[in-house]
Amino acid sequence: MPRKRKLLAQLSALQSNSSFPQINALENLNTTPGGDCSPKSSKYFVTEKRNSSRLEADFFNQPCVSLAKSFLGQILVRKLPDGRELWGRIVETEAYLGGEDEASHSKGGKQTQRNAAMFMKPGTLYVYQIYGIYFCVNVSSQGEGAAVLLRSLEPLQGLDAMRELRRTSRKAPSKLLKDWQLCNGPSRLCQAFGIDKAFDQRDLTQDTDIWMVPGQDLPGEQDVVTTTRIGIGNRGEWAQKPLRFYLRGNKFVSVVDKKTEREMAARGPLSCS
């Protein structure tokens, strides 16, 4: 049967050319059958993936607080060197307002080599290192030196790869991370998505390795908790300003403000988001 032999030969050729390049820490990602070659997805992913057009410049070109709120429910996408994609729904952000903000890296309007991305066009990534080990990722907005910190994601696709990236970035062996532990914090988010200093000053509207796409069922004002930022207790009045935003009732948020949530509950019911 010549036709059958021809089909088998084509299949064999495809199988022999199916490998992908691997880079640095990503070399060790699990690509065995049953792993991320058929990525594990959350219940949201089936609907989210339908709307896969990239968020463009107009979206990012808005005031810092507005952008921080607008990020909630949107999707961060990271394409790994082997072609797989990691998807995460943004569930927590913080706004840093630039020169006037005593907690901002650009306070006083001072521009340095480190914070240059904060002064670039809206949609530019600002990645910095803390404790000489961990990374945090921000996105520039309108306003001189203003940017939004991405604090937490709800993993949607590529959870096995996220676990492996988290594992390789930690020194001590530990238990298998649960879904809600993968991206519930700014440095954990960066570990899970393989984001490091090499991503600093990249443009989310143009980059081929990282971008954002619109989410569906975006939250309303009643679904967003507005509270104080984390880890800036020595910044005077700025430590008390309500510049952190997260999705109310979402278990992937890093730090929950129970007092504020109780006050919101007293004002009215929680809607679906």
Query: In this structure, is residue 30 part of a structural domain?
Result: no
Angle ∠(254,80,207) on CA atoms, nearest 5: 90
- The pLDDT value recorded for residue 270 is 58
Dist CA 254 CA 185 (whole Å): 5
pLDDT by residue (tens digit) across 227-257?
A: 999 999 888 899 999 999 999 999 999 999 9
Structural domain contains residue 273: no
What's the confidence (pLDDT) of residue 227?
98
pLDDT given at position 4: 41
Q: So what's the pLDDT on residue 234?
A: 84
Has residue 174 been placed in a domain? yes
- pLDDT of residue 109 exceeding 60, the answer is yes
Q: Parallel, antiparallel, or unpaired: how do β-strands 210-213 and 224-227 relate?
A: unpaired
Q: 10 Å Cβ neighbour count for 256? A: 16
- The answer on pLDDT for 87 being more than 70 is yes
Highest mean pLDDT among 7-16, 34-43, 78-87: 78-87
pLDDT tens for 173-226 read 678 899 999 999 999 999 999 999 999 999 999 999 999 999 988 999 999 999
Rounded CA-CA distance 115/97 in Å is: 13
Number of domains in the chain: 1
Residue 122 burial (C-beta neighbours within 10 Å; 0-12, 13-18, 19+): buried
Residue 180 half-sphere exposure toward CB, CA atoms < 13 A:
7
Residue 270 counted as domain residue: no
Cα three-residue angle 159-164-167, rounded to 5 degrees: 125
- Which domain range does residue 137 map to? 57-255
Count CA atoms closer than 13 A to 223's CA, side-chain side.
Answer: 15
Token digits for 8? 């088998």
Residue 105: inside a domain: yes
What pLDDT does residue 8 have?
40
CATH of the domain at 117: 3.10.300.10
Mean pLDDT, the chain, integer: 84
Residue 221 lies in a domain: yes
Residue 50 lies in a domain: no
Largest CA distance in the chain: 81
